[in-house]
Amino acid sequence: MKDTADRRFAALPGRPGKIVAIHLSYASRADQRGRRPQHPSYFFKPSSSVAASGDTIERPDSTELLAFEGEIALVIGTPARRVGLADAWDHVAWVTAANDFGLYDLRANDKGSNVRSKGGDGYTPLGPSLIDARAIHPDALRVRTWLNGEIAQDDTAAGMIFPLAQLVADLSQHFTLETGDVILTGTPAGSSVARPGDVVEVEVDVPGGPSTGRLVTTVVQGSAAFDAELGSLPAVDDLQRTEAWGSREAAGLAAAESPGSGDPADAGRSAADSPASTGSPALSDALRSKLEAVPVAGLSAQLRKRGLNNVHVDGVRPLHPESKLVGTARTLRFVPNREDLFASHGGGYNAQKRVFDAVSDGEVVVIEARGEAGSGTLGDILAIRAHARGAAGIVTDGGVRDAAAVAAVGIPVYSSGAHPAVLGRKHVPWDADVTIACGGTTVQPGDIIVGDADGVVVIPPSIAEEIVDAALAQEDEDAWIADRVAEGHHVDGLFPMNAEWRAKFDARDARDARDAREEGRA
């Protein structure tokens, strides 16, 4: 057994005390994912994950997204603690090739720590040989990856957002980098999924100069299953597929409805951890204030004038009719309960919990429950979490459990009614941040949601300013008409206004504008 263990570290000076990896470091990768970090962020990998060139890696049973990431690995030669940028490279003794394998099926629950998704046995192949760091310039290093003999990744350290020496200096601010520690410096664009039978090779070199040789890893199919009694089970969504394969097209998915974005430091986040309103215009404070001032009925009328008749979330009622709801949609989709699917997607840190943990200030959690009110789709704990996160409200076309406790939280909630049963009676939490159907209308991430005692309406962000300005103008006109009716005038000819009344209204507008100008000159 000792010989087997020793072989894993054959390319290194010994077993590393720490393996530190960066989430996102290459410009090409950042551009591919549509997010660029301002500062580097990191995670640890256990030394038990190290493998040697020629070893195999298992793709666990019932998983699909084992992704390879060719990387430059730095091996520390002399301890570094609070070293400056100018001296940092002097503490690197060797450079070698690495493959930072990750299982995206387990990524969501790790929330960026990558403990399970990247910590498995064999998930950090290193080698096969070392390059003397003192003999090369760090920016000259190149990393290339081949999948079954075809080039998949090809980039140089010069294309990194954060220079190699900066990573050493930055990490040394926080803890001592000890002799033998390994830093995985991130992967360029081209990372993708490897399947059983695939062979992945990684080489780090200086073109025309020294090379590590090719680090070879073969993927095999594992047979051991995860135990649902011990922890959450593997689960994937379209965001995980997109990021594992490198693009929606490579993953066999339809073209994206809107470009992704998010906190660049959190490259390991799940779909629910990324801002839902990606690609949508921001809901500015000014626009929000105007929407709060207009009743939903007025917005509905303006939407109808523009041919949008199917923008109402039907069948939902507010727990707080006196409260106004304004925010951008963060979507969550439930599918009908099926026992095997609930076993794989319903427990642990499922899509429902991820959305409520990640909803941002001013967002509205909108839940597709197919109008099925025979169980709760949320309860007081999740309502408290949304409120604590600054959410603007919650809209579900399903039921609410612990309705009195949810109402007591104070956050605006619209639902089809109360029901005492738990989620699993009728639903499986399935997906997040996708286009959904709620109360008979389509809701996309980033759509503007407005609700009051009359109900909830969905406004496409691109026309929100036009809609609210028109609604405000109509409200002003309606208020003037109401005053005339209160004075005793007949409704006929006044509502709607005929030419005579229209002329009087326009004259009022002209008089008000003149008065405003004169007041401004005074």
CA distance 344 to 416: 27
Measuring CA to CA, how many Å separate 80 from each of 178, 231, 354, 395, 516?
Answer: 7, 37, 38, 52, 69
CA distance 94 to 29: 25
Same CATH topology for 16-251 and 272-463?
A: no
Report the candidate in 272, 199, 220 with the shortest Cα–Cα distance to residue 57: 220
Burial of residue 488 (CB within 10 Å: 0-12, 13-18, 19+) is: exposed
What are the DSSP E strand ranges found in 407-514?
Answer: 413-415, 417-418, 427-432, 436-438, 441-443, 448-452, 455-459
Q: Which two tokens stand for residue 132?
A: 């003397």
The correct answer on CATH 3.90.850.10 for the domain covering 16-251 is yes
Secondary structure letter of residue 243 according to DSSP: H
Class of domain 272-463: alpha beta
Q: Which two tokens stand for residue 481?
A: 């008409």
| Beta-bridge partners for 431 | 333
Q: What is the mean pLDDT of each run of 10 residues along the chain (522 residues)?
A: 66 96 92 82 96 96 93 98 96 98 87 89 97 95 97 94 96 97 96 96 96 97 84 81 87 58 35 36 82 93 93 95 94 93 84 89 95 93 92 96 94 95 92 93 94 95 91 84 87 83 78 61 54
- Domain boundaries of the chain, sorted by first residue: 16-251, 272-463, 465-521
What pLDDT score was predicted for residue 214? 97
Please check whether residue 101 is in contact with residue 59, taking contact to mean a CB–CB distance below 8 angstroms. no
pTM of the complete model: 0.54
What pLDDT score was predicted for residue 512? 64
What pLDDT score was predicted for residue 96? 98
Report the candidate in 415, 414, 365, 423 with the shortest Cα–Cα distance to residue 389: 365
CA distance 398 to 381: 17
What pLDDT score was predicted for residue 276? 35
Q: Are strands 70-76 and 92-99 parallel, antiparallel or unpaired?
A: antiparallel
What pLDDT score was predicted for residue 21? 97
The helix/strand/coil state of 266 is coil
**Assign residue 257 a region: left if phi > 0, alpha if psi is -120 to 50, beta otherwise?**
alpha
